């Protein structure tokens, strides 16, 4: 009597971690993050992840899936496809994202793709650039009696959508990827009645060896930040006034 073949079981997938690399410096990644990198089979990393950070995972296959404003980059749909494909080939897949995955990190699209494919996902937070920039400048984003609300925002939107020009109404504003939008941001704030002397702190290449911190006011920000080449964070508000 012939034996019947058992039906094939479901395809086994590896697990994916969406891991926050932090603001840039390798020693600002979390202990959990460094531990996961040391165990990863493959790491799909952003363009801003440094060589020092990648040195934490010498055993892993490394795939660059960087996205940089104004430069040729990997489309998000292709990143999603590669994540699903890697989960079919490797047991421990790390998607290494600058800052924190859940803040301007396109985590929603990647989570949707992975969940639709039935792949297990875990999220490991990282230090977001705003907190690292405030620490580097030694100026708080909140200050008792001066500022009790903070907004993180960006003018960048999804492809096919116009850039967002409405600014949040908070005591302290932190604009991610704010270099090219500096003039427009300053003019929008001045037009709504903010004082030209409102303090502004610009941090370029936050936490890295080539970090640069600039102390301006709103009228100076209106002249633009053309001299900045690296990733730029713009912090605006009375809480950022120098102590004295």
Same-domain check for residues 61 and 83 = yes
Same-domain check for residues 82 and 139 = no
| Predicted pLDDT of residue 33 | 98
For the cut 80, the answer to whether the pLDDT of residue 98 exceeds it is yes
Number of domains in the chain: 2
Q: What is the Cα 219 distance to its own chain's centre?
A: 28
Same-domain check for residues 187 and 219 = yes
CATH number of the domain encompassing residue 21: 3.40.1010.10
What band does 229 get if pLDDT is binned at 50, 70 and 90? confident
| Predicted pLDDT of residue 6 | 44
Could you list the active site residues?
A: 46, 67, 177
For the cut 90, the answer to whether the pLDDT of residue 11 exceeds it is no
Same-domain check for residues 28 and 86 = yes
For the cut 80, the answer to whether the pLDDT of residue 192 exceeds it is yes
Domain final residue, candidates 71, 96, 124:
124
Same-domain check for residues 90 and 188 = no
Domain final residue, candidates 74, 107, 124:
124
Residue 133 corresponds to which tokens in the numbers above?
């920039």
| Predicted pLDDT of residue 8 | 45
The phi, psi pair for 117, rounded to 5°, reads -90, 5
Give the CA count within 13 Å in the CB-facing half-sphere of 131: 9
Looking at the domain assignment, is residue 174 inside a domain? yes
Give the CA count within 13 Å in the CB-facing half-sphere of 154: 15
The DSSP code sequence of 85-96 is HHHHH-SEEEEE
Q: Which one is predicted more confidently, 171 or 47?
A: 171
The residues near 213 (Cβ < 8 Å, ≥ 6 apart) are 136, 137, 201, 202, 203, 204
Domain final residue, candidates 92, 107, 124:
124
Looking at the domain assignment, is residue 171 inside a domain? yes
Mean pLDDT of 207-218: 96
Looking at the domain assignment, is residue 5 inside a domain? no
Looking at the domain assignment, is residue 7 inside a domain? no
Same-domain check for residues 203 and 173 = yes
Same-domain check for residues 91 and 34 = yes
Same-domain check for residues 98 and 66 = yes
- Per cent of the chain over pLDDT 90 is 82
CATH number of the domain encompassing residue 159: 3.30.950.10
What band does 12 get if pLDDT is binned at 50, 70 and 90? confident
For the cut 50, the answer to whether the pLDDT of residue 4 exceeds it is no
| Predicted pLDDT of residue 7 | 45
Which tens digits make up the pLDDT trace of 116-168?
999 999 999 999 999 999 999 999 999 999 999 999 999 865 556 556 668 99
Same-domain check for residues 119 and 31 = yes
Q: 175 by DSSP, 3-state: which? A: strand
Distance CA 22, CA 43 (A): 15
Same-domain check for residues 146 and 167 = yes
Looking at the domain assignment, is residue 206 inside a domain? yes
pLDDT, the chain, mean:
91
Looking at the domain assignment, is residue 214 inside a domain? yes
Which structural domain range is residue 65 located in?
15-124
Looking at the domain assignment, is residue 1 inside a domain? no
Do the bridges between strand 172-176 and strand 42-45 make them parallel or antiparallel, or are there none, so unpaired? Answer: unpaired
For the cut 50, the answer to whether the pLDDT of residue 89 exceeds it is yes
- Per cent of the chain over pLDDT 70 is 89
For the cut 80, the answer to whether the pLDDT of residue 184 exceeds it is yes
Distance CA 21, CA 19 (A): 6
What band does 9 get if pLDDT is binned at 50, 70 and 90? very low
Same-domain check for residues 143 and 183 = yes
Looking at the domain assignment, is residue 102 inside a domain? yes
User: Which helix H or strand E contains 212, and what residues bound it?
Assistant: strand 212-217
Q: Judge whether 34 and 52 are in contact, CB under 8 Å.
A: no
For the cut 60, the answer to whether the pLDDT of residue 38 exceeds it is yes
| Predicted pLDDT of residue 58 | 98
């Amino acid at each position: 009597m012939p034996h019947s073949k058992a039906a094939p079981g479901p395809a086994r997938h590896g697990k994916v971690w969406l891991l926050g690399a932090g603001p840039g410096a390798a020693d600002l990644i979390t202990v959990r993050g460094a531990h996961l990198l040391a165990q990863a089979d493959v790491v799909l990393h952003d363009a801003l992840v440094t060589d020092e950070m990648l040195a934490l995972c010498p055993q892993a296959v490394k795939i660059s899936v960087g996205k940089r404003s104004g430069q040729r980059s990997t489309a998000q749909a292709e990143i999603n496809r590669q994540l699903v494909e890697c989960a079919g080939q490797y047991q421990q897949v790390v998607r290494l994202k600058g800052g924190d995955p859940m803040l301007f990190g396109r985590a929603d699209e990647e989570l949707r793709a992975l969940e639709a494919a039935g792949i297990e996902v875990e999220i490991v937070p990282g230090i977001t650039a705003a907190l690292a920039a405030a620490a580097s400048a030694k100026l708080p984003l909140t200050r008792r009696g001066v500022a009790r609300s903070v907004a993180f925002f960006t003018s960048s939107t999804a492809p096919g959508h116009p850039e967002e020009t409405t600014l949040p109404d908070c005591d302290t504003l932190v604009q991610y990827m704010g270099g090219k939008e500096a003039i427009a941001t300053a003019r929008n704030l001045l037009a709504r009645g903010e004082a030209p002397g409102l303090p502004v702190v610009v941090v370029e290449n936050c936490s890295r060896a080539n970090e640069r911190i600039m102390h301006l006011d709103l009228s100076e920000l209106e002249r633009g930040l053309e001299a900045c080449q690296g990733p730029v964070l713009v912090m605006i508000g009375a809480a950022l006034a120098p102590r004295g």
